[in-house]
A = this chain, B = another copy of it.
């Protein structure tokens, strides 16, 4: 189940990046489950990782390798998260990095490992190692779509976005893929996302651009409020276009906007493909004193099971929205100043139902695939939008019938 049709946009190749995808036999036979990304040139890589304290072994290794070396290979397996696996999990990830280094001829610390899938099962390191020659042989500049498929777990469809950006020095390409459907409440990055550009961007700026973009995209989505042990978002800049993005330039603003658009599109794709999702909801909080306050109210509404089941029902049960706003912990909230609308249709104001409320019209809007709940706190100029989905029978089925 997923909201709307799968977007299958063209994924432009990025000069300096090749991707290989194979079926290594980690998941069900024949399913793609191993991806290798190779970066060449004066490549710089920035990464943000989950803040969950039970961070998986590959997350810890990837962070360490980014800090100590200049990685150029990303090895991603699905079907097993290698989380909650203790010392054996660390040994497995080192085995994979060493085996890839031996296959390719590089240092193990030039490899960034990523795993996603079931928590607490031993990672089949030998199975992965046996598939490394095949995944190396599959490396292809046009490998983005296959890789988007190869990193999926419970995702019902692959997620990718791509665009070309005209900068003062020439055109650069920005292409990204992501996976994620459950255990989605990023606190830093989320899920897995791999984004690459051929722009030339200095390492410190690259990290800053990634932090800024995740803050308003992957860090503003929720499916079930559960932050994963394996979330990671990686941004690669190969510099192969010879077009530079510098701080304080108009190009930086243009590139930032494009990167944030792309991250938001991927983030919304994750929510639209959230476990059991039938509707995609933007919860927009305006009139807040601070952005953090707007985010907090938006997340409280976006994660309320009562709001999410009302959305599943297509029922404008505004009392549930109002009750969630009321428990979001906003100091000195003047409840009479709060107004709620759905796709611009007034629902509640002055602490009660709006005199302009039209139930039939509002129900019709809420039965669309996607709509926006706007909450005006009426006390400031700041705002934030969080994307969420509904809570359906299918969510229960996915999470109660299968071990994920």
A residues sitting closer than 8 Å to B (CB atoms) are 51-55, 81, 83-86, 88-89, 118-120, 182-183, 185, 187, 224-229, 303-306, 309-310, 312-313, 315, 317-320, 322-327, 330, 333, 335-336, 348, 350-353, 391-393, 395-397, 399-401, 403-404
Contacts and interface: CB of A to CB of B under 8 A. Distances in A.
B182 A326 contact: no
Nearest to A276: B396
A51 B54 CA distance: 32
B323 A119 contact: yes
A399 B54 contact: no
9 contacts: A54-B335, A81-B319, A119-B317, A185-B327, A226-B324, A226-B327, A229-B323, A310-B400, A391-B396
Given A53-B330, A86-B350, A119-B319, 13 more contacts: A51-B327, A52-B327, A54-B351, A83-B319, A84-B348, A84-B351, A84-B352, A120-B318, A225-B303, A305-B305, A305-B399, A309-B400, A315-B403
Contacts of A119: 317, 319-320, 322-323
A338 to B, nearest CB: 8
A326 B229 contact: yes
A393 B336 CA distance: 36
Contacts of A55: 326
Q: Which of A182, A305, A325 has the most CB of B within 10 A?
A: A305
Contacts of A325: 53-54
A359 to B, nearest CB: 11
B86 A352 contact: yes
